[in-house]
A = this chain, B = another copy of it.
Amino acid sequence: MLATFTALAEPNRLRIVELLRQGPRPVNEIKDALRLQQPQVSKHLRVLKEAGLVDVQPRAQQRLYELRAEPLQALHQWLEGYRQLWDDRFNEMDELLAELNEKEKNNVRKKRH
């Protein structure tokens, strides 16, 4: 998870990932599409690869880089654990709990006096 965030926390790497969403690309195409220098592209791709975000397949002297599903899927799943923050179903549950808490407070007050 951390590794994924770290890899994506760099503007050009994020752009590369967004580009690769449309399919595998050789280094040169990435370089042209994003107006980067070739060495920087290679370096960013290295980082992305080490983070497991991309895979390479050699095609003659070219290297086709493609997105890997796993880390992104894992991230997606991780966020599911936070769904309660915005999901209505859970907001209803919140209200339910709030109600229960209200009653509880009242009970406590009654006991105190």
Taking the nearest CB of chain B, how far is it from the CB of A29, in angstroms? 19
Is A8 in contact with chain B by the CB < 8 A criterion?
Answer: yes
Kindly identify, within residues 11 to 31 of chain A, every residue whose CB is under 8 Å from any CB belonging to chain B. Answer: 11, 14, 21
Instruction: Count how many chain A residues have C-beta atoms less than 8 Å from C-beta atoms of the other chain.
Output: 24
Per-position binary interface string of chain A over residues 45-79, scored 1 when its CB falls under 8 Å from any chain B CB and 0 otherwise: 00000000000000000000001111011011001
Q: Report copies per complex.
A: 2
Determine chain A's interface SS by DSSP, over half rule. helix
Most buried by B among A2, A5, A11, A68: A5
Q: Do B2 and A11 touch across chains, with their CB atoms under 8 A apart?
A: yes
Q: Which residues of A contact B (CB under 8 A)?
A: 1-2, 5-6, 8-9, 11, 14, 21, 67-70, 72-73, 75-76, 79-83, 85-86
